Structure 1
Amino acid sequence: MSDEERKMIPSEAPEEPEDLLAAQTPEQLPADEPLSSEAPAETALADLSAPAPAPTNITDDDRLMAALAWFSMVIIQLPLVSIALLLAQGNKERPFQRYHALTSIAFWVVAAIYEALAAIVFTVLTIISLGCLAVCLWVIFFLPHLVCLFYAFQAYSGKEMEIPVLSDFVRKQGWV
């Protein structure tokens, strides 16, 4: 059959309207189905056993303070903002701020251990290479600061990011 013959033959299947409820008259609708075009409250997806996402009430202040908890470690290299967040009376009921404050303090401890080990590695490799590797190895001291900047951005975006070992440790201790 050629293309011209196909165009001449009308389509055998009738076109169905897009909105089936609009095409039916009220007599054709089942008795338990609403007349409006709104979907009923319970759908087939509601039957799934997946838990509904918990409502979060993260304010702009929460996001800012959580980001400052991380950013202060870049600037002054001490978790002073995190400690202030934990000691402040009004912030004890703010789980987003508390999570980031505790996680940043735990990260600070790990970063201090990393910096001590990096200093040893830097010294040994600089001595072995007669100072040549010192030109490249100074970057290893800034890695924790870059990580803190990334987590500050994530906190300001309103995300509770998962640091593989630290987040689990903070939760298992019952601090969060």
Structure 2
Amino acid sequence: MENNTMEDTKSRSSREAVPTAIAKEILIQLDSIRQQQLLILMQLLQISSSSDFTPDPTHFGLPLSTIEELQCLEETLKNPEEKKNLTVLLGMVGGMTLKNTVGQVLKRAMNTSLARLIKSVVLDAVRRNALTKDSTEEETELLITRCLQFASDRDGGRSQRAKRQTT
């Protein structure tokens, strides 16, 4: 009988350990969520205190639907204050993952027909080149992505960034 009591105690303590481990994991996750919420709140306060800008989606004519609107926005964004304002506006789009957030920002910035038009122009231009006329759409899309990825390095961007880091 003493042997049964010992086994019951071991069984009970192992059953109790499982909920305790789960409870610890839940507490860790709750703490992580609490820290993330605090960080988000701090960022929101920083944005609201650093700018008197009240985001107005119509100010920039978003989502863009034509090349002309894109060119107009390009001119507008030469003004650093306007660029900052658009950044704040698009930063409010949100998203749960990086992929989702990027997609939401791009959808807010330009409509599907403009995005398709730009993609179509690039694909057609690539296919007009005799040396690249047989490239696949997938290959071209990948290279468009890479080109956009390294856009900040062009036209002296890399050297300007290096200068800022050394000062």
TM over 0.5: no
Q: Which has the higher helix share?
A: 2
TM-score (norm 1): 0.27
Higher relative contact order (CA 8 A, sep 6+): 1
Q: Which is greater in Rg?
A: 1
